[in-house]
Amino acid sequence: MRLAAFFSVTVAVAASNTSQDPFEQWHGPEAGHVRGPCPFLNTFANHGFLPRSGKYITQKDLADGLFNAVHFDANISHFLFDFAIATNPEPNATWFSLDHLSRHNVLEHDASLSRVDAFVGHADVFNQQAFDETRSYWGDVVNVESGTASIIARMKTCKATDPTYSISELGQGFILGETAAFISILGDAQSITVDKRLVEYLFQNERLPTKLGWKRPSTPFTTDLLLGNLEKVRLEYNKQLK
């Protein structure tokens, strides 16, 4: 009896710890919740690292959420927050909601890796066809070269199919930065490589790929690392455009 009781308590404690682990606690958006064009921010809301509603996200919410989810340095979070609140139409806002990010040509841009252009449809909703084109340029491992090739391919497709296609300098910077970031966060930030399956899983499910063995990076993702990897993507982008 004592042995059975011991095992019962052990199992109950283990189950309790799992239930409290946000990496294992995934819930898709419910009625009244909002999501936006960024698969990563949507993912963090689905796990509860950001408010699950996707609404009223403060600077502290973003900094804490990105740190706990993917070990982002606070400086990056503050930098991103300053851009994000610019999408809130409310004057002097101190928060943003994920659907604010869908405002076209503020941060949201044409030639998304996983969304259609705003002219074509809803830029805040995952589009399988767009993402299939993106991932068709990847091998089993996504690196700077294949990641950049998919960016250019999406730009060419969108330019050919969207009569209102445009991309601002800021939008281009975000496209390149997004690729540098997803490779670095889900893969190896030093070699700038990532297993394609991890990227596909997150984009298509808006869920962290822990079931595939991914773990939160043990070292912080700093501003210097982000800018360094962004520069490598930018150089490759200019090279492939020639």
DSSP 87-111: G--STT-SEE-GGGGGSBTTTB-SS
Query: Taking residues 9-34, what's their average pLDDT?
Result: 75
pTM, rounded to two decimals: 0.90
Pair 113, 154: CB distance under 8 Å: yes
Above 50 in pLDDT, residue 49? yes
Kindly report which listed range (2-11, 83-92, 155-164) carries the lowest average pLDDT score. Answer: 2-11
Instruction: Give the distance, in angstroms, between the CA of residue 148 and the centroid of all CA atoms in the same chain.
Output: 17
Query: Taking residues 27-35, what's their average pLDDT?
Result: 96
Can you give the pLDDT at residue 161? 95
DSSP alpha helix (H) spans, 48-115: 59-70, 74-84
Per-residue pLDDT of 166-177, as tens digits, reads: 998 888 999 999
3-state secondary structure of 41: helix
Kindly report which listed range (6-20, 25-39, 69-83) carries the lowest average pLDDT score. Answer: 6-20
Distances (CA, A) of 118 to 109, 163, 214: 8, 11, 32
Can you give the pLDDT at residue 123? 82
Above 60 in pLDDT, residue 7? no
Per-residue pLDDT of 117-132, as tens digits, reads: 999 998 889 999 999 9
Per-residue pLDDT of 174-212, as tens digits, reads: 999 999 999 999 999 999 999 999 999 999 999 999 999
Give the pair of three-digit tokens for residue 85: 């609140």
